[in-house]
Structure 1
Amino acid sequence: MSASRKEATGEFSEGSFWPIMTAIFFGAFLSVLAISSINVAIPVLMNHFQAELSTVKWTLTGFMLANGIIAPVTGYLVDKLSAKYLYILALVGFTVSCALCAVAWSMEALIVFRLLQGLFSGLILPVTMTIIYQVIPRERQAFASSMWSLSTVLAPALGPTLSGWLIQSLSWQWVFWMNLPFGIAAVVAAWKLLPHYRLSEPKRFDSSGFALVITCSSFLLIAFSEIDQWGWGSWKTVGLLVAGMLLLLAFIWRERNAAEPLLDLSVFSNRRFAMCLVVSSVLGMSLYSGSYLTPVFLQTIQSASAMEAGLVMLPASIAMAVFIPIAGKLYGRVGPARLVLTGLLLMGIGTLAMSRLTVDTPHGYVIGWMIVRNIGVALGIVPVSNAGMEQIARQMTAHASSASNWVRQASASLAIGLFTSLLSTRLMVHVAEKGPQTPDTGTELQAYTMAINDVTLLAALIVFAVLPFLWVLRQRKEPVILPPDQAFVSK
């Protein structure tokens, strides 16, 4: 078989695996780092630009919004430009936008540049996932997926600590400057190490579908992001949710009837892919409870510093980083069903234990159960994602990864709004139950702890609720493989 045919069918030599994964790892790490590193800079940005929190938080909200808007378009862009060139374009745009953020002269300029950064970042994760399932041999896809997930785990584990040190030692601009050498290295690695190939002919751009998906995504993501501020009953929340859902239905109808759809929704006809996406999205929502509520408990209730909270969370992050590649290695031996079942049970038990906190809970308790929980995350989320993607025909993986990231982005934004608003509601309930408080009784701290426990309990119940869906993982069906003579390859 010729070299070009090998690129078309994904039959690469063993020596190609690590160069490809190296090029992918850089980009995925940077994309997630851009999300986690900005959090610790928000108070500094408020002081530097003399801006309110409601304005500064759009450096994060706007980034997430742009991330979600661009995701559905990735499949079309991969067909049009090829995965390699789209990835390089996204990396270049991301690196340039980092430099623009660093030289921002006002809060408005910084928000605009963060939106631009979010657009390019939103292309990186789905296109790197596409490369894995288009060019990595199937028997190594589970391990490749675990290494890809490892990069997205290391970034939020290291990002806040690294950003805090840079802000304290240098300035907030270095939160963005630090991305430049990594971005340049990622571009060079992608150019030299990734193959150039196409598995589908470029299609006509579906402008109507594009307008619908951009509008519905914007409405829904803004509503999810602002629920904690506006409330569920606000006319703005209800109006955006209703309009967003109606536009989403119009987009689905359009794509199912278009001759050349922007996002090929036929990937959802694969029952295993659809169910695995539901499970992974719900688990992602539950995962947010640990990454958000635990630092809130440590810093707000127990008065730990940001550095102390990070150190308490670090062992669990290390445990997850260790077990993610282990899950990838075990996938081929034991299959996804046993791994995911074990992972969900550990995740559910660990989350349930974290719903029994008190004001004086020792850090050892938090560290131990967070380790149990994060090992469950490693054993559960990676296999369930791979179990769905491996069922998709290679030429459709760009659209499948595009749809997958779109749904996960929406569910993550929903989780942020849901858990934040629920935390506020339960706090008021528990404060009212405690009665009049005096400054020396600690009533407010107790009420806050009980509210955190309520939200964490809901997160645990969500994990256990998806257990019945695991039956779909026991069904093994070979994906449709694209014949070599139907692939379009450029040397």
Structure 2
Amino acid sequence: MENTQTQPVDINGKHFKRAGFVLVLMLGTFLTIINQTLLVTALPKIMSDLAINAIDAQWLITSFMLISGIMIPASAFFLNTITNRKLFFTAMACFAIGTVICALSTTFNTLLLGRIIQAIGSGMMIPLMQTLMFLVYPAERRGEAMGLVGMVIAFSPAIAPTVSGWIVDFYNWRYLFYIILPIVGINMVLAFFFMKNIINVTKPKVDFFSIFLSSLGVGLLLYGISVAGNVGWQNKTTWISCVLGIVVIILFSSRQFKLAQPFLELRVFKSRMFTLSTIIVAIIFMTMIGSEILLPIYTQSIKGFSALQSGLILLPGAIVLGVISPIAGKLFDTYGVKKISMIGMFILTVATVPFLLLTKDTATWWIVCLYSLRMLGMGFVMMPLATAGINALPNELISHGSSINNTVRQVFASLGAAIMVGVMSASVTRYSNDYVDISLTPLLKGLNSGFMSGFILLAIAFILCFFVKSPTNVKQNE
């Protein structure tokens, strides 16, 4: 039991119990994040039921990532404009409304609308949780807090294919939303009792042009990357969208440095630790999302497994990641980030090598073990580094740091999927001219090449870890 002195306080100076507050945040974020990848294995059934093609169906996932990515940068502004309690209920209400629309949808357009409304809530919820979790724990326990954050952020999309595969194999795809809806309702009831206001609202001046530039820039960049994942980087739409997105983001960034009250405080990048940790974590997230796309392709197309069986292969790794994340957080609080991140990156990088050598005869148990080992390494490095980076910021910049951290991670996750799938597709095309068995061998070569691109990215992140300093577990400013 915590004594009164160690319990957090709200903006009125009243102590409250941390456990209920944390439970509400974690459950709400879990529900929103799991929806990012929940429909991946359900797309074939949805395509058949709603009579749509693969390109239209892909937008049910792409639109969620796109809208969520657009909303994340605005979260820091929202946190300083309205109370965190109101923002939580707003985010969950948007998500609930979107979920109802999805569950009752009978047309593609209705389902797409529901996904967009869901994504608005999700985009607000992810950085909200990270910011509140950081502030509700004392500095010496922030590794533990971020371990819990990492468990939710990484575990949710990892377990989604298993849950989705099971439901789609035995029930209608709409049950993906029916099951989530009552849990959302229960969480909102719990939030009524446990969610407290812990951030003093400063109500900064609204700069609508910054909002426009932020939404347009991130939206164009994510759209271009999404198009690249579907049709390749050589597509004209991909390059035009990505270039325009980068130009608009540069304009947005330039404007923020000129404003007395910036919409998004980019001066957080003056912290070397924050910048370095954000880059490394983003690269790791790239390879995680990319691998979670390539592995089901291997297990279903090469091994001939069902969607449920494919999801079950990923499940042990998801459980390992969920277990190790809070443990890694406690280790961070005790030993700092340097040793933990180096050990984690070494495990993650080495465990990726065998995926470069996959064959049709690779044992399933070996894949499960290797994937679980990768998740073990990821758990040791991802959230401890993110914690060290945000720990380098003063309290008033934590909301901005969380928003930027999550925005970069969202963009890099989409980029990682586009790169690894793009490399795989290009390799399949190249090797198809050299092999007689064009149905399997070129695909295997392509998958190996896709994992090779992930390995190169991890090698870069491993090298960057050598430049990470070992801050103490006491919050510091650089």
Q: Which TM-score bucket, shorter chain as reference?
A: over 0.9
Cross-structure match for 1:66:
67
Residue 400 of structure 2 corresponds to residue 405 of structure 1? no
Specify whether residues 342 and 480 from structure 1 end up closer, same or farther in structure 2 by C-alpha distance, changes over 3 A only: closer
**Contact 1:394–1:480 (8 Å) recurs in 2:** no
Distance 1:386 1:300 in 2: 39
**Contact 2:10–2:196 (8 Å) recurs in 1:** no
Specify whether residues 400 and 168 from structure 1 end up closer, same or farther in structure 2 by C-alpha distance, changes over 3 A only: same
Cross-structure match for 1:335:
336
Shifted more, 417-426 versus 460-469: the winner is 460-469
Residue 248 of structure 2 corresponds to residue 253 of structure 1? no
Q: What displacement does 1:295 show?
A: 1.4
Specify whether residues 463 and 430 from structure 1 end up closer, same or farther in structure 2 by C-alpha distance, changes over 3 A only: same
Distance 2:326 2:367 in 1: 24
Aligned residue identity for 1:267: V
Q: Equivalences for 1:421-432 in 2 at 5 Å?
A: 421-432=422-433
Percent of aligned pairs with the same residue? 23
Residue 478 of structure 2 corresponds to residue 476 of structure 1? no
Distance 1:164 1:10 in 2: 47
**Contact 2:150–2:382 (8 Å) recurs in 1:** no
Q: What displacement does 1:444 show?
A: 3.2
Q: What displacement does 1:52 show?
A: 0.8
Give the alignment partner of residue 460 of structure 2, picking from 465, 471, 475. 465
Cross-structure match for 1:164:
165
Cross-structure match for 1:207:
208
**Contact 2:391–2:476 (8 Å) recurs in 1:** no
Specify whether residues 378 and 233 from structure 1 end up closer, same or farther in structure 2 by C-alpha distance, changes over 3 A only: same
Distance 2:299 2:8 in 1: 52
Aligned residue identity for 1:451: G
Distance 1:286 1:161 in 2: 19
Distance 1:159 1:267 in 2: 33
- What does the per-residue CA deviation read over 1:362-396, in whole Å, with 9 as the maximum and x for residues that have no partner? 11221121121110011111111111111111121
Cross-structure match for 2:9:
7
TM-score w.r.t. length of structure 2: 0.94
- SS state at 1:476 partner: coil
Cross-structure match for 1:387:
388
Distance 1:94 1:10 in 2: 29
- SS state at 2:392 partner: coil
Distance 2:157 2:145 in 1: 20
Q: Equivalences for 1:102-141 in 2 at 5 Å?
A: 102-141=103-142
Runs of 4 or more, structure 1, over 4 Å off, are 8-13, 477-481
Distance 1:143 1:12 in 2: 23
Distance 1:229 1:24 in 2: 34
Q: What displacement does 1:289 show?
A: 3.1
- What does the per-residue CA deviation read over 1:260-281, in whole Å, with 9 as the maximum and x for residues that have no partner? 2111111111110011000000
Q: What displacement does 1:160 show?
A: 2.6
**Contact 1:59–1:114 (8 Å) recurs in 2:** yes
**Contact 2:98–2:116 (8 Å) recurs in 1:** no
TM-score w.r.t. length of structure 1: 0.91
Q: What displacement does 1:418 show?
A: 1.5
Aligned length in residues: 472
Q: Equivalences for 1:22-33 in 2 at 5 Å?
A: 22-33=23-34
Q: What displacement does 1:307 show?
A: 2.0
Distance 2:78 2:233 in 1: 36
Q: Equivalences for 1:305-384 in 2 at 5 Å?
A: 305-384=306-385
Q: What displacement does 1:471 show?
A: 4.0
Distance 1:472 1:138 in 2: 23
Distance 1:285 1:86 in 2: 29
What is the RMSD computed on CA atoms of the aligned residues? 2.2
Distance 2:227 2:26 in 1: 32
Aligned residue identity for 2:458: V
Specify whether residues 159 and 238 from structure 1 end up closer, same or farther in structure 2 by C-alpha distance, changes over 3 A only: closer
- What does the per-residue CA deviation read over 1:430-455, in whole Å, with 9 as the maximum and x for residues that have no partner? 12232xx2xxxx45312211111111
- What does the per-residue CA deviation read over 1:303-344, in whole Å, with 9 as the maximum and x for residues that have no partner? 111222222222222222221121112112221111110110
